[in-house]
Amino acid sequence: MNNPLDHLESLVAEAVANTEAAVSADELRLAEPLLIGKRSPFVNLQKTLGGLEPEERKSAGAKLQEARRRVEEVFAARLAVLEAAEKSARYEADRLVLGDVVPSRVQLPLSAGHPGVVALTQQSLEDVFVGMGFTVAEGPEIETDWYNFEALNIPPAHPARGMWDTFYLDLGEPETVLLRTHTSPTQIHLMEAAVTAGTLPIHAVMPGRCFRRDTPDARHLAAFHQIEGLVVDRGITFADLAGVIETFTKAYFGPDIASRLRPAYFPFTEPSAEFEITCTICRGAGCRTCSHTGWIELGGCGMVDPAVFSAVGINPDEYSGFAFGFGIDRCAQMRHQIADMRALTDNDIRFLRQFS
Ligand code: FA5
């Protein structure tokens, strides 16, 4: 008896040719049952396999499935092409052309908008630090694992990775490309560039957007902003760091707001500290925003760990340095006494207008 799959290849070729000949997505969808669906030759052939010996039936079944899958792939690709072409044709047809828009005779008051409170805060922070002799630099929001973690002395599987709940991107090897969880990777870019160009020392601040899988609440957002600081020079000590933090706090928040450093742990600084200021909402009395402690954590800081210097090729016997990083949204919140940080992203015009 003839093998029922003798003509399989020509059936595939015919189905592919018919699929590719379709000129509209609707035409292709209508033809689906005949090409790959219930009324297709593949389904008819499947029924004829019952007469074969069990072993033969198994291999013929697999061949048939494979052939049908090939046609299904062509079908899906053709449908995607036709749908995309129809969509752009629709957009093109909807485009407004000169003459479609008739000038209104009603005079509307036009508002040009203005920078939001976070952008304004970033500008004032930059101004304070530029006034103290820092330059301003920026780094990418998408980083590799090396810049966000490894060069900062956080190797794969290190428990400190748990300090940052990361959004990974589906690019390259799994968990190698991510949305930066802090602005600290910009320190690495800056030090690498200074080593290459031979332009050490560094006195820079680096503002920018960061991303974490944090549940938004009164003090957290999933997309927020930090400003990083880095000083690398000969003879830098912890006293320089404490002096910069204190000078900044007084310059930005005013003389009645105190700052304090508390011992903390960051893998890329040693020793490390947390930098807190008096809660400006309750003036230290305790409220919901500061979890009734009277203090708000602005950020972290410490002396650059020698392991970080080694990762970028700076000799830790010759240079020392300090780094700090704190939340710009948190600063805006404290400066303007905003009880809940989520107000920054609510787009409520009555809230936004206050900061023009
Ligand atoms: C860091 O991100 C370290 N890179 C800071 C650092 C830099 C330490 C240099 C040492 C040397 P931390 O995870 O604590 O540390 O975040 C620092 C600050 O960013 C926080 O204190 C807070 O002000 C702000 N921040 C962190 N997560 C959020 C969030 N989800 N929403 C808003 N602000 C946040």
135: pLDDT strictly greater than 60: yes
The CA–CA distances, whole Å, from 327 to 8, 35, 211 equal: 65, 58, 12
Q: What is the pLDDT of residues 181-239, one digit of tens each?
A: 999 999 999 999 999 999 999 999 999 999 999 999 999 999 999 999 999 999 999 99
How far apart are the C-alpha atoms of 185 and 187, rounded to whole Å? 5
Give the residue, by CA position, lying nearest to ligand 1 atom 26.
327
247: pLDDT strictly greater than 80: yes
CA of 301 to the centre of ligand 1 (A): 10
Q: Phi/psi at 55 (nearest 5 deg)? A: -60, -45
Helices vs strands, H then E, count in the chain: 11, 9
How far apart are the C-alpha atoms of 273 and 276, rounded to whole Å? 10
Please, which pLDDT band fits residue 1 given cuts at 50, 70 and 90?
low
pLDDT at 113: 82
Angle between helix axes 25-35 and 8-21 (nearest 10 degrees) is 160
Which of 224, 245, 275, 304 is the best mutation target for the ligand 1 pocket, counting ligand atoms within 8 Å of the beta carbon and taking the most?
224
CA of 212 to the centre of ligand 1 (A): 10
pLDDT at 82: 96
The binding-site residues of ligand 1, defined as CB within 6 angstroms of any ligand atom, are 182, 184, 212, 214, 220-221, 224, 226, 228, 266, 269, 272, 297-302, 323-327, 329-330
CA of 225 to the centre of ligand 1 (A): 9
Give the residue, by CA position, lying nearest to ligand 1 atom 27.
220
Please, which pLDDT band fits residue 268 given cuts at 50, 70 and 90?
very high
Closest C-alpha to 231, from 120, 311, 150, 314:
314
70: pLDDT strictly greater than 60: yes
273: pLDDT strictly greater than 60: yes
Please, which pLDDT band fits residue 162 given cuts at 50, 70 and 90?
confident
Note the maximum CA span of the chain: 99
Q: Which atom of ligand 1 is nearest to the CA of 212?
A: 30
Element (H, E) at 350: helix 349-352
CA atoms within 13 A on the CB side of 266: 27
